[in-house]
Structure formats: C-alpha cells, structure tokens
Amino acid sequence: LNETEQGPRRVEVRSARGPYDVLVGRGLLGSAGQHITERLPDVRRWAVIADDHVAPLYGGRVRAALEERGCDASLFAFPAGEQHKTRGQWQRLTDALLAAELGRDAGVVAVGGGVTGDLAGFVAATYMRGIPVVQVATSIVAMVDSSVGGKTGVDTPAGKNLVGAFHPPGLVLIDPDVVATLPRTERAQGWAEAVKHGAILDRPYFDELAASAPELLAGDADATERAVRRSVELKARVVSDDEREGGLREVLNFGHTLGHALEAASDYTLPHGSAVSVGMVLEARLGERMGVTKSGTANHLAGALERFELPTTFSAATPSGELEGYLRRDKKVRAGRVRMVLLQCVGEVANDGHWSREVAIDSSLDVIDTYGADAGV
C-alpha cells in the first residue's frame, strides 16, 4: 500500500467546542475542497484569507478547490509579516468581509503560516460573534504548532498576542508539499518547536529529528510529513488534555521563559524559533546547575539544534542587564523568582507535583552570563 492509497493521516483533537480533525498528507491541497465541504457542510460562503506571499502560491488553489465543490469563495489578502498581525489588519479584513456581505453562514479558511492562522482565526472568532475557521498550515511553525490548539489573536504595541480569543478550528489541513516554496531559514524556525516536542515528551522523536535534520531543512516532503505527523500527535495529545493551560499544556512553554525575554530584549530582531532554541539550551543548563536536569542534557539539545542551523548561545549584543528587566516583567514572576519548565532529561519534563517550578532570576542571569555570550548568533 503506498501513501496515496492510505490517504492522509488523521489526528483528532478534543476541544471544549467539540473534536476536530487534523489531516496530514502530501497532495492534500488538491482535495481541500472535498475535505472542507464534507466536514463543514453548513457553510455557504468561504472567505479564504492569506498573506500576499502565500495568496498567489496557494490561496488561489484553495479558493478554486472550494469553487469546484460548488461553493462561493473569495480570496482576501493582507501584507505578509508579523508587523501586520494587528488590530488594524483585523479591522481591514472584517470590513472587507462585511463589504462582501458575508453573513452568519460564512466561514474562513486561513491559508498560511502562524501570522495568518492567528489573524484570520481572530477574524473568524469575532465576525458575526464567531464563524467557523479551517486552518490550512503552510509554514513549519503553523504545521507543528500554531494551527493546532485554538489560540488566535493579534499583537499590540504593548506586546505580542495580547488581544485574542480561543477559537478552535473545524478542520486543520497540512500538505507537506508546500514546504518546497518555504525559505530554508523559515523551515528551521519551525523545527525548533518540533525539537521542543521531542525534548519534553518523546526521546525517539528527538533522535529521529536530529538524524533527519538535513532532509527537513532541505524541504524533503516525505521526511517533513513523518515529522509533522509526530509533532501534531504530541501537540494534539497535550492540548486535548488541557485546552486552556491549567496543567499539562504548560510543558509547551519549555525554552520560552528565557526565549521570550531574549526575543524582547533583542527588540524582536531575534526570530522566535531562534530565541526558543537558545532558551531551551539555557534552561537546560540552569536545570543541570540546579541538579534537576541530567547532566549532559544541554549539550545534547544544543547538538540537535545546531543540526537545524539554529543558534544555541546568545551573543553579547544583549547585555543581561537588559534581559533582567524583561525577566522581572514576566507575568509568572513572584518575589524575584520566575516559573520555568525544566527537563528531567531529553524526552521528559521534571515534575515535582507541577509541570513548572520557581527559579531565582539571579541564577537565570548568572547562567546567561556564563553561557550566553561566548559565541555570536
């Protein structure tokens, strides 16, 4: 039996609004119309939303696939880039949907990376008090992370993702063939989150990722399909158990406490995946120093991340003095201590009754000083 005969892999995610499917398979974009109309037969009109890189590549194809099934579908594009994940673009898109006279029987198909998924998802969450959304993930970040879990929203001048809503999709479609057009550096950014999945939950997956890094970076569609399936299964399991992050979902924050601080201190010139890559290694060093994380774990992580051409140390460009301010402003800070997810070893999170524990900000800064500035990024 070959892959086509088997059809796409289906992973079910449970959410408060009911279960939804994530389909992963090469060539899936061609049958997008069929999958979408089968799952969401009550939607009469579709707004396909994509950024201006992805709209000409895949937005038109998804729109055509819906029209072939007899649906009314229109394409709405917005300028690509995180700087456009704003309330301004939300307003422009909702106005455009209103001008097109889309009603309560409409649905949104978000075709693109995490920016599109978050922005178009938030449009769907709020338009007419909420219409269905289908996520068609085209970046690795979207495939392994943002398309699953139901978080949508936009950035504000005060910070990223501060205005948004939980709006689980009705369906997620992932066609690994689209990685062909994704720039290599964008692929690497997404694989950082997949390495995180392996590091917190699945040692064999971690090893497999490290071994197939060259194929994954080069955009090999079969290797991408195998890895994306595993990441989707892992993320689906976590968010199905804990959609709103009171428990297990917290493990997904590994690498993100220091990662977010590094990202902010760099004025967002350090991309998120790179920041998380450095953050995971530093948090592992911290865990080792505290005697929580098995020694050698940080170097093991760094070795895998370097295979993805990701940074594992932070350059002297951001002095820890600046970082300190961002760490102290972390919403999880209490009395000079910040909550952090620490590994037991590669593949397992340390749990002492909670999935995260309090770490002194001073020792975090000390680790950054010791290990942070010894190589350029």
Nearer to ligand NAD, 135 or 313 (CB): 135
Q: Which stretch binds ligand NAD (CB under 6 A): 17-25, 176-184, 200-208, 218-226?
A: 176-184
- How many Cβ atoms sit within 10 Å of the Cβ of residue 57? 16
Do residues 161 and 118 make contact, with C-beta atoms less than 8 angstroms apart?
Answer: yes
Helices in the chain by DSSP H: which ranges?
3-6, 32-39, 54, 60-68, 87-99, 114-126, 140-141, 184-201, 203-218, 221-241, 256-265, 272-289, 297-307, 320-328, 361-371
Q: Is 142 in the site for ligand NAD (CB under 6 A)?
A: yes
Of the candidates 26, 84, 235, 285, the residue annotated as catalytic is: 235
Q: Which of 116, 253, 274, 312 binds ligand NAD (CB under 6 A)?
A: 116
Q: Is 145 in the site for ligand NAD (CB under 6 A)?
A: yes
Of the candidates 53, 61, 272, 307, the residue annotated as catalytic is: 272
CA distance 214 to 354: 36
Q: Which stretch binds ligand NAD (CB under 6 A): 2-10, 40-48, 109-117, 363-371?
A: 109-117
Do residues 166 and 243 make contact, with C-beta atoms less than 8 angstroms apart?
Answer: yes
Nearest to 119 by CA among 76, 74, 172, 158: 76
Q: Which stretch binds ligand NAD (CB under 6 A): 145-153, 258-266, 312-320, 328-336?
A: 145-153
Termini Cα distance of the chain? 45
Q: Is 85 in the site for ligand NAD (CB under 6 A)?
A: yes
Q: Is 115 in the site for ligand NAD (CB under 6 A)?
A: yes
Cβ at position 142, least distance to ligand NAD in Å: 5
- How many Cβ atoms sit within 10 Å of the Cβ of residue 86? 17
Do residues 277 and 305 make contact, with C-beta atoms less than 8 angstroms apart?
Answer: yes
Catalytic residue at 300? no
CA distance 10 to 20: 10
Nearer to ligand NAD, 34 or 161 (CB): 161
Cβ at position 15, least distance to ligand NAD in Å: 13
Q: Is 139 in the site for ligand NAD (CB under 6 A)?
A: yes
Q: Which stretch binds ligand NAD (CB under 6 A): 41-49, 81-89, 243-251, 308-316?
A: 81-89
Cβ at position 40, least distance to ligand NAD in Å: 20
Q: Is 149 in the site for ligand NAD (CB under 6 A)?
A: yes
CA distance 115 to 90: 12
Q: DSSP class of residue 330?
A: -
- How many Cβ atoms sit within 10 Å of the Cβ of residue 365? 18
Ranked by CB distance to ligand NAD, the top (closest) residue is 114
Of the candidates 67, 245, 322, 358, the residue annotated as catalytic is: 245
Q: DSSP class of residue 69?
A: T
Catalytic residue at 196? no
Nearest to 188 by CA among 201, 177, 175, 179: 179
Q: Which of 181, 185, 269, 370 binds ligand NAD (CB under 6 A)?
A: 181
Write out the residues near ligand NAD by the rule CB under 6 A: 51, 53-54, 57, 80-82, 85, 112-116, 118, 138-139, 141-142, 145-146, 149, 151, 160-161, 178, 181-182, 186, 189
> Catalytic residue positions?
129, 151, 193, 235, 245, 249, 253, 256, 260, 272
